[in-house]
């Protein structure tokens, strides 16, 4: 099709649905051709069900076992799904080898059927984000939500007034993104698609398209690119939207195809959806500001003509100069107000007509009714005076002032929206714009480094990170070593050493050395993107208290219109029967004019705009403030529950304690030398990924070699070196037994390392001497690890996990706040009691397996109490999900974000107090906002209706009513913005400690 000058719609044969369907089938057939079988020549992907995993250490153990196999190309293990995804070379390995490797690691494995991993992928639901412009109050939100939820294929729809956006979960096989946008626009609002969780779209800014011929060249390139489904180029903005099949193309392939096809003439820059959304917000803010300033400048002369000019004879005589049928002042007022009413105020008429067309009413309807009534009456009064010579007062100023005040309130809302999005903007800015891609030859040697857009990074890419540069994606260090500052993500200020095989987080800063990293997670899968998504979701969410505002708004506008009509009728009838003196009437006025002014004031002042802003603005500010303080909040409902928390249940290991276990005692009971004993235990634990195993291995290494690396509690690199050095015994039939220990064979003899239960299950006798020693360890807050070799209990290790330095103070602080702390642990009762006594917790639940922690949470919920669970977000996930408020401490993992309502990024227990305190402060602010929102209406509506005029002589002119209405919105927004001044509570204040 021939492109237009303003924009070009480019759809490569996808405009016809039948052709698109054919293309889809063809692309579906291409999926197998593009699989690992073809790309890697004999490579294959399978999925394996893995049972027995209980924590991250288990999943890491399985993943390490798989990656150690010669022929495995990639392996990833999902703890929650109990699955492993493995890509391997079929020439070197078989399916059975994969299964055996997992079982050798101590877990059960079953190869999933081929039908579950290959072939056509069934289409599920997608979650799309859309901008919705033109919403002004809660009634608008209810209208849009109702329309979206009734669309076929839409399963869930949430609309946020404060962010002018909506999130829709829909079935793409039933309804498309364009259909949803059309539904939004048909409902009377401006709609546009931002992004979805389907990685099939890229937004590019194209530089170099200057003519119709250039546009046709671009169309030809895209039309001939295999896998491109649809595209649209806007020649005015230079933006190109490309929809492609992710099974055939990647976003980088699209960019490369355009640049190569144009011989480098077209320069492409990837547009982030967040940047695009921010630019729309800026454009909306600037538009509203321009309209407000225009209305203000035109309203100032009206104010001068009414208030100032009567006191200046020269100007007043000019206004009284008759020009045709009207005075010069009347002509000027009519002209100025007509521009304000129909040019500047056009947006209110458009929005009101759309709302009425859809059977709903909103703030725009009230503004349109109020301003039109005063404008039409004023025009009719002028015309009536010209025809009869009876000149009634006009109220042109009312229309002008009302529109000006409404625009001022809307502008302040836009500013508030921009300020509350600061947290997202800061997070987006953490990711660098470009990255250095290391291109390798077939032999794996680096041959060149080229700069690419960071949004085009793909999993498996090797990236070069220079000193001082931001790490562009989540990945693994493959070469080099350096210190990395991760404070912007984790909140920890101390730089962390990164060497080969260490994981890095996108957005963090490389401080000193050069690193090569292999990207493992890109796009929406990165930690940073998940954090951004979490903050966005929180700002989109509605607190339960918002339902009250939505309900009131749904019935408010019709009630106000009815009340205004009753006011008009009441005053008019009262005047007609002589119920009030004629002196009350304005100069040259009549009973209808007198009644009309009361009616207009009621319509204007009763706008529910502030009511709709009371909760979402506060929630938006709170989530942004929380993110800046390292506390990520999942939504308004989480805020609402957290401020009513009665019990906080703490996991012990890694939450109250540092999670860095160290061996503090080692004793033998059979005469075996300590060195020999430690060598046996270390050999057995070398294959385990459990933190206690690493502590034991580090202790044994230090004992034998006086190696200071023991201070690090052992690393994967140390374990690999131990295996290669030969100082450990050869181990066979190793098996990890979740919750009780490990077992294996050394020199054909069984060795058991674990707790009492492991010994009892294997018939190992525990002597009184051993039992007393273990009890002594447990009563001093240490964990006793029993070791049996050849069916004889050989010795015991004592392991301590130091408490976090802030633990006891935080527990005391919670108690001062009226919250009861509880500790739950899988450890034994003696150790649990000792730890609880040290931190000051009275209620302890010990010897609880990971799955049983959720039952502990439920037991506290039986009486209706609100319960918070604080855990590490991995094996505590069932309890985090069961709690009313889940708080994942030391976050940055997928499971923490999924299971918890609060994510405490700094791995600091003080943030538990911050989370609860911020929630309480936020809901105090919301309640105050409702006072601001409702007080004006409750107090001012009777005044506007003239209830107090007969007794007190008080009335509210329409333009004053408009000012009060705008002031209510301004008060609510400013009240919410004051939350940005929130400071995390000082423990010295909570505990009332006097510091000298």
Q: Who contacts 704 (Cβ-Cβ below 8 Å, separation ≥6)?
A: 675, 678, 679, 727
> What contacts 890, CB < 8 A, 6 or more positions away?
654, 659, 872, 873, 904, 907
Q: Sheet containing 783-789: which strands, arranged edge to edge?
A: 662-668, 792-800, 783-789, 749-754, 741-746, 732-737
Q: Are 786 and 614 in contact (CB under 8 A)?
A: no
Distance CA 941, CA 962 (A): 12
Residues 6+ apart with CB under 8 A from 612: 137, 138, 139, 140, 141, 161, 549, 550, 553
Q: Long-range contacts: 152-159, Cβ < 8 Å, 24+?
A: 154/180, 155/125, 158/540, 158/541, 158/542, 159/132, 159/135
Angle (deg, nearest 10), helices 591-605 and 958-977: 10
The answer to whether the CB of 39 falls within 8 A of the CB of 74 is no
Q: Say how far apart CA 658 and CA 132 lie, in whole Å.
A: 46
Q: How many helices (H) and strands (E) does the chain have?
A: 35, 37
Positive or negative, the Cα torsion across 116, 117, 118, 119? positive
Considering only CA atoms, which of 780, 775, 818 is closest in space to residue 800?
780
Radius of gyration for the chain, computed over Cα atoms and rounded to the nearest angstrom: 35
What is the β-pairing status of strands 108-111 and 662-668? unpaired
In angstroms, rounded to a whole number, what is the distance separating the alpha carbons of residues 958 and 395?
9
Question: 604-631 in b/e burial notation, b at 16+ Cβ within 10 A?
Answer: bbbbbbbbbbbbbbbbbbbbbbbbebbb
Closest of 222, 166, 216 to residue 191, by C-alpha: 166
Q: Are 452 and 252 in contact (CB under 8 A)?
A: yes
Alpha carbon distance 89, 8 (integer Å): 46
Q: Which residues contact 732 (CB under 8 A, 6 or more apart)?
A: 744, 745, 746
Per the annotation, the verdict on 651 as an active-site residue is yes
Q: For residues 666 and 695, is the Cβ–Cβ distance under 8 A? A: no
Query: What whole-number distance in Å separates Cα of residue 423 and Cα of residue 536?
Result: 10
C-beta neighbour count of 697 within 10 angstroms: 27
Which contacts (CB < 8 Å, 24+ apart) does range 230-233 have? 230/11, 230/12, 230/14, 230/15, 231/10, 231/11, 231/12, 232/7, 232/8, 232/9, 232/10, 232/11, 233/3, 233/7, 233/8, 233/10, 233/206, 233/209
- How far apart CA 313 and CA 835 sit, in angstroms, is 87
From the list 474, 651, 801, 876, the catalytic residue is 651
CA 136: distance to chain centroid? 24
Answer whether 436's CB lies under 8 Å from 429's CB.
no
Cα–Cα distance, 757 to 868 (Å, whole number): 31
Q: Measured between alpha carbons, how far is 130 from 575 in angstroms, rounded to an integer?
A: 52
Angle between helices 138-149 and 177-186 (to 10 degrees): 140
Task: Identify which of 533, 643, 595 has the alpha carbon closest to the alpha carbon of residue 924.
Answer: 643
Report CA-CA distances (Å) from 575 to 380, 587, 595, 596.
21, 15, 9, 12
CB 145 within 8 A of CB 159: yes
Q: Where in the sequence numbering do the catalytic residues fall?
A: 651
């Amino acid at each position: 099709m021939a492109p237009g000058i303003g924009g070009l719609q480019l759809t490569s044969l996808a405009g016809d649905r039948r052709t698109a369907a054919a293309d889809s089938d063809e692309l579906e057939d291409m999926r197998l051709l593009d699989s690992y079988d073809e790309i890697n020549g004999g490579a294959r992907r399978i999925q394996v069900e893995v049972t027995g995993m209980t924590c991250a250490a288990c999943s890491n153990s399985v993943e390490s076992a798989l990656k150690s196999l010669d022929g495995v190309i990639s392996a990833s293990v999902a703890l929650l799904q109990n699955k492993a995804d493995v890509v391997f070379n079929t020439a070197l390995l078989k399916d059975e080898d994969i299964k055996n490797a997992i079982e050798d690691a101590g877990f059960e494995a079953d190869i999933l059927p081929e039908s579950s991993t290959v072939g056509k992928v069934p289409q599920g639901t997608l979650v799309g984000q859309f901008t919705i412009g033109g919403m002004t109050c809660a009634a608008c939100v209810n209208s849009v939500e109702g329309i979206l939820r009734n669309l076929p294929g839409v399963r869930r729809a949430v609309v946020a007034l404060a962010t002018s956006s909506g999130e829709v979960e829909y079935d793409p096989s039933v309804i498309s993104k364009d259909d949803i946008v059309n539904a939004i626009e048909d409902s009377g609002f401006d709609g546009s698609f931002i992004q979805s969780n389907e990685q099939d779209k890229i937004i590019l800014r194209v530089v170099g398209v200057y003519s119709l011929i250039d546009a046709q060249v671009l169309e030809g390139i895209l039309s001939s690119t295999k896998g491109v489904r649809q595209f649209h180029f806007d020649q005015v903005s230079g933006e190109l939207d490309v929809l492609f099949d992710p099974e055939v193309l990647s976003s980088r392939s699209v960019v490369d195809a355009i640049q190569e096809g144009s011989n480098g003439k077209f320069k492409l820059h990837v547009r982030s959806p967040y940047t695009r959304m921010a630019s729309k917000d800026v454009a909306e803010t600037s538009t509203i500001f321009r309209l407000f300033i225009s209305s203000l400048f035109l309203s100032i002369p009206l104010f001068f003509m009414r208030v100032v000019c009567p006191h200046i004879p020269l100007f007043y005589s000019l206004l009284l100069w008759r020009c045709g049928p009207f005075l010069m002042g009347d002509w000027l007022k009519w002209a100025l107000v007509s521009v304000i009413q129909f040019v500047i105020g056009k947006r209110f008429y458009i929005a009101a007509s759309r709302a009425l067309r859809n059977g709903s009413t909103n703030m725009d309807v009230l503004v349109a009714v109020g301003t039109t009534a005063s404008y039409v009456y004023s025009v009719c009064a002028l015309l009536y005076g010209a025809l009869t010579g009876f000149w009634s007062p006009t109220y042109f100023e009312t229309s002008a002032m009302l529109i000006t005040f409404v625009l001022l309130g809307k502008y302040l809302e836009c500013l508030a929206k921009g300020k509350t999005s600061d947290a997202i903007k800061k997070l987006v800015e953490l990711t660098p714009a470009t990255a250095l891609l290391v291109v390798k030859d077939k032999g794996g040697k680096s041959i060149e480094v080229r700069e690419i857009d960071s949004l085009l990074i793909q999993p498996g890419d090797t990236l070069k990170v220079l000193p001082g540069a931001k790490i562009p994606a989540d990945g693994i260090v493959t070469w080099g070593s350096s210190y990395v500052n991760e404070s912007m993500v984790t909140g920890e200020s101390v730089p962390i050493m990164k060497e080969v095989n260490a994981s890095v987080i996108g957005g963090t800063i490389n401080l000193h050395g050069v690193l090569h990293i292999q990207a493992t997670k890109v796009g929406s899968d990165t930690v940073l993107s998940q954090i951004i998504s979490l903050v966005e979701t929180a700002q989109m969410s509605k607190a339960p208290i918002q339902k009250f505002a939505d309900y009131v708004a749904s019935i408010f506008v019709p009630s106000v219109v009815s009340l205004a009509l009753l006011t008009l009728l009441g005053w008019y009838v009262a005047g007609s029967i002589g119920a009030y003196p004629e002196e009350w009437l304005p100069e040259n006025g009549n009973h209808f004019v007198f009644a009309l002014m009361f009616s207009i004031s009621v319509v204007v002042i009763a706008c529910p705009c502030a009511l709709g802003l009371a909760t979402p603005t506060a929630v938006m500010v709170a989530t942004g403030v929380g993110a800046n303080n390292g506390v990520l909040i999942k939504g308004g409902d989480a805020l609402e529950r957290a401020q009513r928390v009665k019990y906080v249940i703490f996991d012990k290991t890694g939450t109250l304690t540092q999670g860095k276990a160290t061996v503090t005692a080692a004793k033998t009971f059979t005469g075996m030398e300590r060195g020999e004993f430690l060598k046996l235990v270390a050999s057995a634990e070398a294959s385990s990924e459990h933190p206690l195993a690493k502590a034991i291995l580090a202790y044994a290494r230090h004992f034998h070699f006086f190696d200071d690396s023991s201070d690090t509690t052992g690393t994967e690199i140390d374990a690999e070196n131990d295996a290669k050095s030969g100082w450990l015994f050869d181990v066979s039939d190793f098996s990890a037994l979740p919750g009780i220990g490990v077992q294996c064979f050394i020199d054909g003899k069984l060795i058991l390392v674990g707790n009492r239960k492991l010994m009892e299950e294997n018939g190992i006798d525990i002597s009184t001497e051993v039992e007393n020693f273990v009890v002594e360890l447990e009563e001093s807050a240490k964990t006793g690890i029993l070791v049996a070799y050849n069916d004889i209990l050989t010795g015991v290790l004592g392991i301590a996990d130091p408490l976090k330095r802030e633990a006891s103070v935080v527990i005391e602080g919670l108690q001062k706040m009226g919250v009861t702390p509880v500790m739950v642990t899988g450890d034994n009762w003696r150790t649990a009691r000792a730890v609880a006594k040290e931190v000051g917790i009275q209620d302890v639940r010990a010897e609880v397996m990971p799955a049983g922690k959720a039952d502990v949470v439920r037991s506290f919920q039986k009486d209706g109490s609100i319960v918070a669970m604080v855990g590490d977000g991995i094996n505590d996930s069932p309890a985090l999900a069961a709690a009313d408020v889940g708080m994942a401490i030391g976050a940055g993992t997928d499971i923490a974000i999924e299971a918890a309502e609060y994510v405490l990024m700094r791995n600091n227990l003080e943030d538990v107090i911050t989370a609860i305190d911020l929630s309480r402060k936020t809901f105090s602010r919301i309640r105050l906002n409702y006072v601001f929102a409702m007080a004006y209406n409750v107090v001012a509506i009777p005044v506007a209706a003239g209830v107090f005029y007969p007794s007190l002589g008080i009335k509210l002119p329409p333009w004053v009513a408009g000012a009060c209405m705008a002031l209510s919105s301004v008060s609510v927004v400013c009240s919410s913005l004051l939350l940005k001044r929130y400071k995390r509570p000082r423990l010295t204040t909570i505990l009332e400690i006097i510091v000298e």
